[in-house]
Chains A and B, each alone.
Chain A
Amino acid sequence: MTTPAIFSPRRILTGLCAAALLALCAGRSFAGIDWQGQGASIVSKILANPGAFFFEFQQDMEATNPLPPGKFSSLNIGLFPTLLPLGYLNGSAHYRLHPEGRLAPGIPQVELMGGYWSMAWAKVAADQSKDIDNASFNGYYYGIMATSSVSPKVRLFWGYKHSQLKAQLDLNKTKDVLGVKVNSFSTGFSDDFFIAGIEHPISLNDRWTMQLNYGVARKVVAAKVAWSGKYFDLGVNVYPEGVLVIHPVWNFHAAF
């Protein structure tokens, strides 16, 4: 059995060709894009709702792909854009409760999932800042997922997850807001998501997954498309109402 290398010459060549093609296609339209305006627009949206902005990155590290057939658990680490450059120290795990069809035909694979992250840069920024005593920025998620096969190489999965982001800022100087002295801020962002997706293996260790996450509280959708190898996921997460609509994502995973 041979395992395809992540950075095999063929893959690198394909990637370069795709990038070149994209550049060629987009070259003419790039000139007409108001990059400064786009940047300003992004900053505006972040300032309007910073929690939502960082919450989208939390979703990038949330491992919501099902366990491969025959595996009972997995560990996942978000690498980009979570660990780098945002400093999200993170980890997620899946644990299978029931393999597909074990108890009775038709009963899907059922697994639990959960994870936690904490932003390292928040502590660094607090240490560097003269005005901030302490800053913590973290989040977690947990959920359950069911997966069933519609054919040997196509599985459908659906599930639920609860995601919570928390931010705490302690100031060493009080700020005056409407005459009121404020020396700490605590805020957060949370939502409950329904997940539905499809998985299709393309080789022994590689598979494509596409999924749609629907946030009940905010009534927003997010789409995730990912290629999963033996140890890494490469994908694109799309947040139609997000600040950065498209997030390229690179995550590590190990299934057992």
Chain B
Amino acid sequence: MKKYIYIIAAFAAFLCTSAYADDAVIGALAGRVDMRLDIHKGWEPAVLGSAIPEGGGIRTGEDGAAELRFPNKSKIWLKPNSTIEIEQHQSLAAKIAVISGYIKARIPHLRRKEVFELRTTAAVAAVRGTELLLNVGDEGVAEVSVLYGLVQLVYNVPPAVGPSEVDLTQGVFYRFGGSLRIPVFALLTPEQELEGLRDWTPGLSRLQTLAMIRLKEADRLLMREYARTAGQVETVVQELVNHVRDEDMAAGRTLTDVSGNLVRVDQRLLRPDAHTIQLINMVKRPVYDYTYSGKQFAYNGGSIVNRLDSLQARVEFNKDLPANITEWSGFFQSDSVRADRATVVAANQTDPSNIYAIGFIAVNPQASNPSASNKLDDDNKLYFGTVDINGYNSLANGKGLTLLSSGGVFNPSGVQIAGLAWAQKDTSRSLITGSGDPALSYYSAMPYCVGGDCTQSQNQIWFAQENYVIGNGGNVRAKNDITNSSGDVMSIFKDNAGQAVFYVKNNQSGTGIGQVSAVDTNLAMGIRTNGSIAYLNPAHTNADVVMIPDIGVSMIANILPMLEKIAK
């Protein structure tokens, strides 16, 4: 039986000893510092490295300073004329009584359920992950300056005014206790902050302390430098943003068209003169063939290398445009600004001497007659043909053209533009249309008559076009791809493009689309103009334009009022 008692006693003794933590030790001291190992013993001169057990204490004289280190890496620094006692120090609990004086405590890390408390006569401060200053005056008035972390202060006796528990967060100063009826709660002053951040290691000379402060000051300067650099970076970013805005009027993309041809699209918004803007959409393909299985109109041009197509739109205003594009919105708000002329030309420019071009010219009648309506009007006329570069430029410019009843077109110099003809919309025949719903594809054929003479069957033509909304891989998009997307509008624009294929074809026998697509005889069509014959489409070709919406979006974003003006 005795054996069991010894074992139990030994185990109990082990448990008791294990509950005690290692003692705090004096890590540094300077000047007069006293210590005592028990509250019932007298003070004796402290020795560096001495352990202060539970119940012990340490005090500093007028010129003394000390640093007490705890096993859990907590530290307490004492300034002159300070006294503390270790009331409790076990593995999960430490209670330090600050009798008087000025101390700094750093309690960096506590285990779960571990408690570290600093007690004054007025309150107990529970700290955790905290750095603070505690100054206890002779009359019991205490000041807490929290440098980092949180201090939970609980009054020993609830104060007459205010709560009995106060949470003090970092950066806060709190004065309480003694004869102070109302506690003082404030933010740390820069001086208090500097005092707390100063190195409290005993024995440091004033010069060393100053050096440490300078080091911290250098850190602050570094912070200021960082802030200044951040500001500069922001400025650079802003400049880049401005640069990108300037570049909004140029765009390009490489993609695949509906037939699987590799396509490079380049767009530019230009100002050929002060009162004109011009959008050019260039489409380059290393190899071209129109083999898309869903096409509606015949293409008999075969495979072409180095194919170049274009779409250009030019709008001429009655006033000079502002030099800065950011001012355009305001400029176009003015009622006195008027779009006088607009041209749109789609062309196959693979052979510069035989450009297959299809275009429209709209003129504002108010430009020549102030009492006329202010509206661009194309007079239902279509221009088309196979022309050289000069003929193409005359058409794109859209000025001073003279139309012959035979269908021919004279340039402003009175010289016939070889290969170019004009046609008037034919109201006796119907528009032919169809769509690929839900696929975003659409085709139409509009009837025209060369020279406005519909009585001659050879003059009856169709302006036909196929339109597709395609992805960058050439796949025709379906309705849901666009209307049921979680992506934003810009992302949709970046992922999609439009393709438009233009033809001018002879009127064929048959009904409906058969009148246009049954036999592709546009090669045979010749227009007799002023005694000569203009062969309109010798290569059985089309104008096949892929358009990206990038500049269109920029135009909406920057110059919507101008678009409204043109739309009128």
Contacts and interface: CB of A to CB of B under 8 A. Distances in A.
Interface string A157-198: 000000011100000000001111110111111100000000
B171 A223 contact: no
B435 A178 contact: yes
B260 interface: no
Contacts of A218: 490
A47 B237 CA distance: 25
Interface of A: 1, 34, 36-38, 40-41, 43-45, 47-52, 55, 68-70, 99-105, 149-154, 164-166, 177-182, 184-190, 201-204, 212, 218, 221, 223, 240-241
A115 B187 CA distance: 32
B197 A101 contact: no
Given A104-B109, A180-B442, A189-B487, 17 more contacts: A36-B330, A40-B333, A41-B329, A44-B557, A47-B557, A52-B490, A100-B149, A101-B130, A152-B146, A152-B171, A165-B488, A177-B440, A179-B442, A182-B483, A184-B483, A187-B487, A223-B234
Contacts of B436: 179-180
B155 to A, nearest CB: 14
A44 B440 contact: no
Contacts of A188: 485-488
Contacts of A69: 149-150, 169-171
B148 A100 contact: yes
B490 A221 contact: no
Contacts of B183: 1
9 contacts: A47-B557, A52-B488, A105-B108, A152-B148, A152-B188, A178-B435, A188-B485, A201-B171, A221-B237
Interface residues of B, number: 67
B506 to A, nearest CB: 25
Contact of A41 (B129, B234, B330): B330
B433 interface: yes
Contact of B149 (A101, A153, A178): A101
Interface string B464-486: 00010100000000010001111
Given A152-B196, A153-B193, A221-B237, A101 B108 contact: yes
A204 B170 CA distance: 10
Task: Tell which of B109, B147, B558 has the most Cβ of chain A within 10 Å.
Answer: B109
Contacts of A180: 435-440, 442, 479
Contact of A204 (B148, B186, B469): B186
Contact of B485 (A37, A50, A105, A186): A186
A23 to B, nearest CB: 23
B287 to A, nearest CB: 28
Given A99-B129, A178-B467, A186-B485, A152 B434 contact: no
Interface of B: 108-109, 128-130, 146-150, 162, 167, 169-172, 183, 185-188, 193, 196-197, 223, 230, 234, 237-238, 241, 326-327, 329-333, 433-442, 467, 469, 479, 483-490, 492, 553-554, 556-561
Contacts of A203: 187
Nearest to A220: B241
Contacts of B147: 152
Contacts of B150: 69-70, 99
A212 to B, nearest CB: 8
Given A48-B553, A104-B109, A180-B440, A186 B171 contact: no
Contacts of A41: 326, 329-330, 558
Given A48-B553, A104-B109, A179-B436, A152 B333 contact: no
A212 B237 CA distance: 12
Given A101-B109, A102-B128, A48 B557 contact: yes
B279 to A, nearest CB: 16
A103 B109 contact: yes
Most buried by A among B241, B333, B553: B333
Given A178-B442, A188-B485, A49 B332 contact: no
Nearest to B146: A152
B237 A240 contact: yes
**Residue among A40, A43, A51, A150 having the largest count of chain B Cβ atoms under 10 Å:** A40
A34 B330 contact: yes
A35 B385 CA distance: 47
Nearest to A181: B437
A44 B326 CA distance: 12
B238 A240 contact: yes
Given A34-B327, A37-B329, A40-B332, A187 B223 contact: no
B337 to A, nearest CB: 12
A48 B556 contact: yes
B560 A190 contact: no
Contacts of B193: 151-153
B433 A186 contact: no
A178 B330 contact: no
B467 to A, nearest CB: 6
A102 B437 contact: no
A240 B162 CA distance: 47
A68 B169 CA distance: 9
